[in-house]
Amino acid sequence: MTSRLFLIRHGPTHAKSMVGWSDIPADLSDTAALARLEATLPRDALVVSSDLIRAVDTASAIQGPRQRLPHMSALREIHFGAWELRSWKEIDAEDPQRIRAYWETPGDTTPPGGESWNQVCARVNDAVDSLLADHAGRDLVIVGHFGQILTQIQRAVGLSAEAAFSHRIDNLSLSELFYGQDGWRSGGLNQLP
């Protein structure tokens, strides 16, 4: 049995800084885009989101008649620690080697008090694996974040972390992945219905 994963990035926050675990609301004023997105999703899919308000509210806006699963904190964005709500420029002025290593050669480098890319992947992979096990063969709409979506693209396509980071994931975009007996494969990525 194959499960389809419809990965949706939350609506825009308009923040000009690194937003990870801060609970900032999304701008969901583009109701036409939300309606188009909702219309592209399978009617019998299950909907789940990160527990951060920008993902929760986006999931509610596109849920339609679909069944909602409880929010999952394991589907949160990257935990940026001391970099949270700060700009690249600010951090680069203080710790240029670390911030460049974090984004240019992602892996075990961590922001102070935050999590590495490898830790993000492990956390999100475990959450998605749990959803796939509990709802085998079902279509899953997973509303979340840039980093969280990239973790799944990296694993489904078999990319390096550097290659995964080269993907653009727009707000209110849809990336489709498949998981079944033959493993992972990808459909369209970063689609804007």
Active-site amino acid positions: 10, 77
46 forms beta bridges with: 67, 140
CA distance 13 to 20: 11
Is 141 strand, coil or helix?
strand
Q: Give start and end residues of each alpha helix (H) in the chain.
A: 31-40, 53-62, 88-94, 96-104, 117-134, 146-157, 161-165
Contact in structure between 75 and 55 (CB atoms under 8 Å): yes
Residue 20: which of 63, 73, 62 has the closest Cα?
73
